Structure 1
């Protein structure tokens, strides 16, 4: 089976190592082996691997195509008892495998054609046989003591014959072999130096260097089931070399609290803990020890490197962060503030690498901040702000049940702990190289969220654990994490909203700044374009398919212009239309029959004019003007199979018109309207009066008023079956009530996504965004930070909901609700 060995070594455990046991079979393992599998039942191990969907998907998308093809021949080899499979590099980037086991009569499953095609190659005092197994060359021989040697390489078989059991294994491998479990289903050994070449087509150079420096050998048992891959073993490192594991000698791992601050949206993190920074420092390479001789970081017990949005942050956890920050003052420059947290510039960007090498090698760390017991460093202030935002929103991995379930399978304290988000790693440039990212993007990881590797240092070795496990049924619910924060060139003027990219079917964000620039922002936070307008956009931006070809345009009005622009920010001819007299209401878009023959009502005071997609007035619209100014944007409502054009005016009149502009329902009564719009609610035209009553008009013109006990300044939103109101600090959703803190709130806004009702509201005084369900229950982890009306949608069609809102004066935020 081509999947078992190479997949486990190559992919599941990017940076791992292995262990083994002892009998004379190991004397025939090639001395230059990069990786070795020991198993008592080879075919059973392959069968277990075959039943794990993640391994199958990984192997189907492997870059080691040539080696994978060679390994398929193992399907026809059936050892009776223990066997070793090793992978060796023969020439540059040419990997061959060997199998060493006991010979028996039916060890090879050859059909008659294969038996007839076996060739004999004499070599010294033995014969080498060449056969075709699964279409690949397979060389094998039997030596004294009934030793069966097989390989994809004739050279490796010749070496085994020539050395006749006198292969010389290094001492670290022999130690691991002696303590390995001989009765395990599968046991692996990995040589760090040589394995880096084996997996060089997967990882970039800096990761390969880290693998080489980690230690000498790793060994581990492998347990593969349908739901998980679990590895447990030992790692060793040479005292004569500057291996990373050596920096933990004579220190003890401590329980970590980094999960309290690491964002759930992180790509990966590497966390290191130590009971004694002084000893940790003394274990450092000689060139760094002198600089570390002071007590600057003596209070530090752990350090984490977090990969986030193609950047990094470095987090220290201390027993006395105030003392540490005071000692850091001589390295601190200017101060800025972000959400009441101070952020400082560092005058010595290489400071952290000098004190924490080889765990930190970056020498351009420019910013620092303090949050409770944590001190955070980053080369990118935006990423530092992201850490602060997610921490304040409780969007940290400690609150992710999938993460806590995974960690329950590992030891409580680690010297080194690496955790990667498999979906995030598909696009991360820090972990996988460009070629392998294309390959890994095809791997089916939906059922698996995290992979974890753990090293626990002892005096002369380190325990090693790793796990990749299916997500439990108790998945993370409604955790809110910041996806991106994008700064505009000036303060945000209009609330950001989602619009559809007709090419990708995903959502993007539009927002306008105080210099009247309109921005289109991609799902990754990148500004795609900005366009200067002649004024502030009124109301919301609408999307239309003007040419009925599936391509969407943005339609809106400013005080003196009616714009339609394409997704590249270009005006669509003959727009914009300029008006001398002010446009006094936002743009409404009418598509009466759903055939995209749009009508656009433009309101100027008490005059309403109807335009078509050619920017011409529609002659068939006969309504001229009202006796007082129109006080809300006209609405097109459909009740039953009839269309209505509805709007109200300042003197209390309500107009319900036919699409041609003729009167359709005669409403004689005048009302003391509130500032709320007209809605279709329960098959009526509904709004409220200033005294807080619900006003409803049916299709026969009958008026019904219902007392709701709302304050004069109440606000409402409604759909055909749902009424939401906010009066003072009381929010009512379908009759269910929620008491809010006193504040200055935006009008509630109803969203309907994936058969669920959500209601959003923002306290612009306290900068808090609230999101409720249809029962007026606040969603977990709300409120979150925001300063404007919020918009809600699924931006990437993954059934996870995103929210966009104005953040700081000049920033647009997007959050994900997991």
Structure 2
């Protein structure tokens, strides 16, 4: 890290040390070099300019300069420049002396986690010697004496700086003066200059030095893709990360000319692959729409956008590093289903990298624009059955938030279809959304993605992101790449090497000023790179403000609710409540009462919605101690309801299941002794569950159904005595389905989705504070004891509102700690109360709210995803609360029950 030093101070030292040598060297300027001959081919880049002072002044004049000054290396650079200007007489003398000389800066790897810079200056005439003489006269007392040693017959000058903490080494080869804080780079430069066998950077990348790649007034960057991938690899703790794989896939290089914009930096030039210009295709057409805008999740860290008029254009940009499976390739080529699928593709596609962008297996979403998404999905489902040899038992099919998901267990299916493009899909999970085909490389990634669509957590709902895509339309670029620094920078900190991570964290405000990296690949190998910069300080406290917007009064105290339910008429939200006289009330979001009906008992379960008549009109289902109710939206009982539970037994839990999303419902019920019952949608008790007797005692949480890729269906029951039981849908024990998680359990469990078949796990914490993970084969895969200072310490797992995310909660006396799923601390706080409950709402990576309900004082405390308290004054909540998020309005809606009031709050995000 210490190698990254001021570039201009290097120039000062070069001049100082080279003065005497220049005057007395015979034949100076007779053997002309331009500087690239001494630069090794491992350089990440070479920046060349004939006006270094002018470029410096341009940088200082940019809005981002105030941010860059916070970096010590930049501040030191400015100080050295001022000093150099003062000793050369000011009045532009420095600019006059340096302008016209061939100045080059190259960056090189130095080994693990470190890089260094080499400066070369190729002198074109003797006018530069005047500057040397002026500097030589004023250098006395400015530095320690220069030490001289010889390397390969060339004098090396070593200057000790900063009281011996740093040493600068420089030498002269013919008309080239070169130097570095790393002596190895200077020695290496000498070897390349004198050798006839070693190939320099210029000899290795001859195409970057063609006549049309000459340096203009703004300078030029000559970039090596191999060097860049090595640089990223050295930064990252994951050596096989996706970015490095993509860069190494083809031998990339580029010549780029920088230019400053009002809000950032633009770099444009030529892109090369294997030494040839990367030509995408001609005839780009702008159809005026923003493709995929409403389908790109805000989780996106890196987006590849392909805007081709036809699928066949992917043949022109093959990924030559991809090695297809010959047998699979032949089968795909001969398959009628695949041919039919390809015929539905338009040519537009978007590859989105989300979590784990700097890891070997990042979460990836592939969006395919189709002429008919349902037909595309059907063709792939047909091929999937063909691949599984018509064995329906091998076909994984599930449903999430109204979307059907199927699994194509085919290694790198997209890459085989798209000529090596879109690698990184060892399995494909398929779904359809908004008329487009969605492919994900894991079930967890697909569910997270569909959840983001459900909550409008997409680029299309963001003014900034929509503007970004709109700007890309005018670029006439068929391939566009967007890197979102809001998502990339946190991943960089997590995945960077120990030597780099503290630097990124310490100067996070500077690095976060870089908002977006935009890359446009155009016809004939043209490339344009834009870096969007925001010099203003960006808020990082995540503070939200809460304001009450509506309050509805009831005649009696409310004892249940609010339960948020979808209004099938307009997709708005209704709320079900119950008062102390046992009347249930359905209320619209505007406060209008739809019905009020009295029932004989308290509601004790969640409220579910079903489509009993299969016509899109939804009904609601819930249970009391002895009855299972099903009502339409106007309070009328459905045929055969209520279902009377067995006499002498009490219902404790109810779950509503729809195995295949065909509205053939099952009601999964547990009684107070832990016995399990399953009723048909019409209320008939199924014989194999009449009941499923238990000897393990009461359940700790609601019984549930899970469908696991490669393993099938599981009926799951977790008991307070620490037993976890797995059954099939007929109530029979599953192999390995009797697991001991601890001596006692009193909290929920979460699902940790695996990226590979059969690796999904049930995760929970027992009362002793031991985190336990079990896969669906019944194998205990993880145990870890959380800190337990006292026997009275309480441990909880709190799921979010959908069950795709969770947090851990540890309570010790008045101290409350909330942990991330990986058990790292999210935040801690102090709350004095005898009884606390918790709620967790997750609407995307940065849209999370954790709620603490103080049951002693009827208060609610809301914390954002950074652990900041949202409501400075506690909200009064006597029962429950409900929270939703709207991406289009960019706000949360909070609905609570207190005494006889239903209250609504808005929280702008």
| Structure 1 residue aligned with 2:303 | 269
Conservation of the 8 A alpha-carbon contact between 2:143 and 2:160: no
Conservation of the 8 A alpha-carbon contact between 1:451 and 1:469: yes
| Structure 1 residue aligned with 2:106 | 86
User: Does 1:456 find its partner at 2:521?
Assistant: yes
| Structure 2 residue aligned with 1:196 | 229
Match of residue 400, structure 1, among 457, 462, 467: 462
Q: 1:136 to 1:324 in 2, by over 3 A?
A: same
The more displaced of 119-128 and 131-140 is 119-128
By how many angstroms is 1:403 displaced? 2.5
Q: How does 1:229-308 map to 2 (within 5 A)?
A: 229-238=265-274, 248=280, 257-281=291-315, 283-285=318-320, 287-288=323-324, 290-291=329-330, 293=333, 295=339, 296-298=341-343, 299-308=345-354
SS at match of 1:375: strand
CA distance in 2, matches of 1:4, 1:259: 42
User: Does 1:467 find its partner at 2:531?
Assistant: yes
SS at match of 1:179: helix
CA distance in 1, matches of 2:52, 2:400: 58
Any stretches of 5+ residues in structure 2 without a counterpart?
Answer: 9-31, 85-93, 357-362, 386-394, 545-559, 565-603, 607-651, 654-699, 702-745, 754-762, 766-794, 799-809, 817-827, 841-853, 860-868, 898-902
TM-score norm. by structure 2 comes to 0.48
| Structure 2 residue aligned with 1:121 | 149
| Structure 1 residue aligned with 2:857 | 589
| Structure 2 residue aligned with 1:361 | 423
By how many angstroms is 1:768 displaced? 11
| Structure 2 residue aligned with 1:34 | 44
By how many angstroms is 1:352 displaced? 2.2
By how many angstroms is 1:494 displaced? 7.5
RMSD after superposition: 5.7
User: Does 1:223 find its partner at 2:259?
Assistant: yes
CA distance in 1, matches of 2:797, 2:253: 58
Match of residue 112, structure 1, among 137, 140, 144: 140
Conservation of the 8 A alpha-carbon contact between 1:49 and 1:56: no
By how many angstroms is 1:75 displaced? 8.9
Q: How does 1:48-197 map to 2 (within 5 A)?
A: 49=59, 79-81=98-100, 82-89=102-109, 95-103=115-123, 104-105=128-129, 106=131, 111-114=139-142, 117-122=145-150, 127-132=155-160, 136-144=166-174, 146-154=175-183, 156-157=185-186, 160=189, 168=200, 169-170=202-203, 172-175=205-208, 178-180=211-213, 182-197=215-230
By how many angstroms is 1:218 displaced? 2.0
SS at match of 1:297: helix
By how many angstroms is 1:444 displaced? 1.0
Higher helix share: 2
Conservation of the 8 A alpha-carbon contact between 1:520 and 1:530: yes
CA distance in 1, matches of 2:192, 2:228: 24
Conservation of the 8 A alpha-carbon contact between 1:494 and 1:512: no
Q: 1:465 to 1:51 in 2, by over 3 A?
A: same
SS at match of 2:835: strand
Conservation of the 8 A alpha-carbon contact between 1:235 and 1:463: yes
| Structure 2 residue aligned with 1:340 | 402
| Structure 1 residue aligned with 2:889 | 781
CA distance in 1, matches of 2:57, 2:749: 48
Conservation of the 8 A alpha-carbon contact between 1:3 and 1:59: no
* CA displacement, residues 608-651 of structure 1 (integer Å, 9 cap, x when unaligned): xxxxxxxxxxxxxxxxxxxxxxxxxxxxxxxxxxxxxxxxxxxx
Q: How does 1:306-705 map to 2 (within 5 A)?
A: 306-310=352-356, 311-330=363-382, 331=384, 333-348=395-410, 350-356=412-418, 358-407=420-469, 410=472, 412-428=475-491, 432-433=495-496, 435=498, 436=500, 439-442=503-506, 443-444=508-509, 448=513, 450-459=515-524, 461-470=525-534, 515=653, 517=701, 530=796, 552-553=830-831, 564=835, 589=857
TM-score norm. by structure 1 comes to 0.53
Conservation of the 8 A alpha-carbon contact between 1:419 and 1:452: yes
CA distance in 2, matches of 1:43, 1:521: 63
CA distance in 2, matches of 1:804, 1:362: 45
CA distance in 1, matches of 2:6, 2:161: 17
Conservation of the 8 A alpha-carbon contact between 1:401 and 1:474: no
* CA displacement, residues 94-152 of structure 1 (integer Å, 9 cap, x when unaligned): 644322224424367874235660233356775443223565322334454x4333333
By how many angstroms is 1:320 displaced? 3.7
CA distance in 1, matches of 2:154, 2:885: 80
Conservation of the 8 A alpha-carbon contact between 2:304 and 2:481: yes
Q: 1:265 to 1:208 in 2, by over 3 A?
A: closer
By how many angstroms is 1:76 displaced? 7.8
What is the number of equivalent residue pairs in this alignment? 538
SS at match of 1:263: coil
By how many angstroms is 1:284 displaced? 4.5
Conservation of the 8 A alpha-carbon contact between 1:427 and 1:441: no
